[in-house]
Amino acid sequence: MRGWSDKNIVIKIQSYKEGICWWCGKLADSQEHRHKKSDIKHIFGNKFEGNPIIIGDNYQKEIQGPNSKLLKFDNVLCQVCNNKRSQPFDKAYVLFVNYVLKNYESILDKGIIDLNNIVKTNVINFKHNIFRYFTKFICCRLASNNISIDKKLLGFLNNEEPLNFLYFKFELRPDIYSFLNRDGVDEYEGNIYLSPLRYFLSEDQININLVYQFYNLQWFRIYTFYSETMTNENYAGFQKYNDSHLIPIESKYSIHPDKLFDQIYDSGLKEKEDGEWLDEYLDYNIFIKS
């Protein structure tokens, strides 16, 4: 895959001190949601009228409410970082996804989101705060899985550094949209999904070349890539992408909507498909359109 080497690796397996905030180093006395509380309430209602469940590989559990521990990370943040310091990120994210969920047809047609349609001032800072929300989220997951968080990510969160090592990619999924809008769908039927956190080790089996995940909110998918290669030096256009008021949106079907939630599922084929997709996707400059 593009540009990967064992020099200057910034990502590695790392044990974190239990109960310590990964952001500021103080006592971690707050739990961040794995699935944004506002997203959950938006789809399933304040009182969970739809009786949502968590579905795992071999189990399913009913969720009692939006504050269920099943929806949260362990204590990896302090209350100040999780609430006060990151409040602008949370507000930017809510504005962003609310706009997306109300404008499916327009976004599908244009293949782009113009952030000027959401806010009228400080548009680039608004975009950076959206990206800071996703950065905070992936950092919680990295800390929970004993993967190092580069100091430059903290610098970005603190508005001291530009974004490096993280790339956020956005997709519409018309297959999921079709399924959720089929005839006879229940009012509270919805889709929120956080993929497994996957990573590729270097040859020494200690350092990490790439970490990635995706998050589904209804038919909207957000990919996160964490790699030392994600810099403007390796991908001309990376910084321009981060500093633009536009967000490109791809639209992809995976399988026919009628087959979307079949019980028979070949995980081996899915992993092979993911690996081939990553090889193809990261083997050219993803920020320069040919």
Per run of 10 residues, the mean pLDDT along the chain (length 290 residues) is: 48 86 90 65 65 51 56 77 92 95 93 96 97 95 91 96 95 88 74 85 81 91 92 90 95 59 45 52 53
Beta bridge partners of residue 61, listed in sequence order: 54
| 134 vs 129: CA distance, rounded Å | 9
Please tell me the predicted confidence (pLDDT) of residue 33.
53
Please write the tens of the pLDDT for every residue from 91-134: 999 999 999 999 999 999 999 999 999 999 999 999 999 999 99
Interior angle at CA 199, CA 197 and CA 201, nearest 5: 155
Strands (E), 119-203: 166-172, 192-194, 198-201
| 191 vs 104: CA distance, rounded Å | 15
Instruction: Using alpha carbons, select from 230, 32, 239, 232 the residue that is nearest to residue 128.
Output: 239
Please tell me the predicted confidence (pLDDT) of residue 114.
97
Please tell me the predicted confidence (pLDDT) of residue 275.
53
The amino acid at residue 171 is: E
Please tell me the predicted confidence (pLDDT) of residue 194.
83
Please tell me the predicted confidence (pLDDT) of residue 115.
98
| 4 vs 270: CA distance, rounded Å | 24
Please tell me the predicted confidence (pLDDT) of residue 272.
46
